[in-house]
Amino acid sequence: MKAIQDHYPPTFAHCYGCGPANPFGLHLKSYLREDQTEARFTPDQRYSGGVPDNVYGGMIASLLDCHGTASAAAFAYRARGREMGDSGPPIRFVTASLHINFRKPTPLGEELHITGTLKSLDGRKASILLSLSARGEECAQGEMLAVELKS
């Protein structure tokens, strides 16, 4: 099954966090499963927080941001009865705002599980609820307002 990001048009595939065309990047892969999107990612030891046991905040924000815009695109395709990768114009979203609650330290060296659910979709605006967990415990929550780019 191809990831949402693997359907991004080549001109839009350069993101450090999730772009398949970025040779240096993190290559986050997000998938739409039933009513939720999900991604799994294990940050390597470079991405330490202030103390080496924890993931740094910027990584958490990056994962939520990239997963959020991918989620918005996937939910918009579904709402319009379309399939990602079909012959229609690509649907792409960018972040207008992102709010993150850091609930507890995120352990480094663990697989992180990121989910997205659709709160609302209104014209070109999508609101996405995000969650990041490790070892089954939620470490961060996010809420994103994403805006669809005009094709």
Query: Which residues would be at the binding site for a second copy (CB under 8 A)?
Result: 8, 11-17, 19, 22, 24-25, 46-52, 56-59, 61-63, 65-66, 69, 92, 94-102
Which residue is it, tokens 């958490």?
A: 60
In the complex with a second copy, which residue's Cβ is closer, 24 or 81?
A: 24
Q: Give min distance, CB of 92 to a second copy, in A.
A: 7
Q: What is the 3-state secondary structure (H, E, C) of 74-96?
A: HHHHHHCCCCCCCCCCCCCEEEE
Q: Give min distance, CB of 34 to a second copy, in A.
A: 26
In the complex with a second copy, which residue's Cβ is closer, 67 or 118?
A: 67
Q: Give min distance, CB of 73 to a second copy, in A.
A: 11
**Backbone phi and psi for residue 116, each to the nearest 5 degrees, phi listed first:** -135, 135
In the complex with a second copy, which residue's Cβ is closer, 100 or 129?
A: 100
In the complex with a second copy, which residue's Cβ is closer, 33 or 42?
A: 42
Q: Give min distance, CB of 77 to a second copy, in A.
A: 17
